[in-house]
Amino acid sequence: MINQYLGPIYLTLAASIWGGMYVVSKMVLTIIAPLELVWFRYIVALLTLVAFGIATGQSWKIDKKDIPLILLIGLVGYFLSIWAQFAGTQLSSAQMGAIITSATPAFMVIFAKILLKETITLRKGISVCLATIGVLCIIGVGDVGNSSKLGGIILGGAALTWAFMSVLIKKVPGGYSQLVVTTYAILAATLAMTPFVITNINLIQIQHVLLEPLVWSGILYLGIVSTAGAFFFWNKGLQLVDATRAGVYFFFQPLVGTLLGYFFLGEQVGIGFWIGTALIIGGVLLVVKDPS
């Protein structure tokens, strides 16, 4: 009986942690650039995952035929999508970051059809339309500046790429440990972004910045909790819940993100956010209630 609830528990934990991540990253991004923050976050996550993998005696062997899939998961999901989340959040707000990327479940419907051959019903099609309109409502709020609108567009791209990655995970053979898959995918993303970080990093400035308690504590949280922990929980949950319905648990992210953004960052909640949020939630609820 408990196995029936493990998938939802894993997915809920991951999404709730990511809701808090937007608030932490918004504060840390006032001091450090998005790409550098993601890179430091992944270094911490890799050390955590490898240490835990060794301690638990994980098998690190991956068949050659599965390597391209895991590399694609790392590059699309952990590199492009996460960079877009951080960059978009820096240009907008923690609330916008949490809410727009919650369009991910509706996008997962499309990719599930393409990659997993799941049927797109009328209900699922309407859900995608509602979620898309919801994202546009949030991006197009009249009282936000051009910077916030650009941030919203980038966050929309983050939602799209994360949905693609989430469906790709369903194609990974079930015999592999999700801790090992997560580790290799993060390693691929880290190696891909390293040349960009080395080219642009200011070592003297970074040494000074890393002495700031807000920065190093934020990096530790982002690396250990919201990356090593939450990525593992999300991947594990996707193993146990079908791709179309797994996305509903993503909505713990905007709920937690909006709540924490209001309390800790003093962010205001306007009518555009509520309209967009209602449309996105309505779209995903349609998917969840689809009996097919």
Spans of all domains in the chain: 8-289
Radius of gyration of the chain (CA): 18
Q: Which of 135, 150, 163 is nearest to 76 (CA)?
A: 163
Distance between alpha carbon 146 and the CA centroid of its chain, in Å? 24
Three-class secondary structure of residue 247 per DSSP: helix
Give Cβ neighbours of residue 190 (< 8 Å, ≥ 6 apart). 39, 42, 43, 46
Q: How far apart are CA 274 and CA 93, in angstroms?
A: 15
Q: How far apart are CA 255 and CA 52, in angstroms?
A: 30
Kindly give the parts of the chain with pLDDT less than 50: 142-144
**Structure token pair of residue 164:** 């693609």
Q: Which of 67, 8, 91, 74 is nearest to 227 (CA)?
A: 74
Q: Which of 59, 98, 82, 41 is nearest to 217 (CA)?
A: 41
Q: How far apart are CA 153 and CA 157, in angstroms?
A: 7
Per-position b or e across 95-108, b if 16+ CB within 10 A of its CB: bbbbbbbbbbbbbb
Q: Which helix (H) or strand (E) holds 218?
A: helix 213-220
Q: How far apart are CA 60 and CA 66, in angstroms?
A: 13
**To the nearest whole number, what is the mean pLDDT of the chain?**
81
**Counting Cβ atoms within 10 Å, is residue 28 exposed (0-12), middle (13-18) or buried (19+)?**
buried
Instruction: Give the pLDDT of residue 82.
Output: 85
Measure the CA angle with vertex 38, ends 213 and 6; round to 5°. 95
Instruction: Give the pLDDT of residue 76.
Output: 95
Q: Which helix (H) or strand (E) holds 269?
A: none
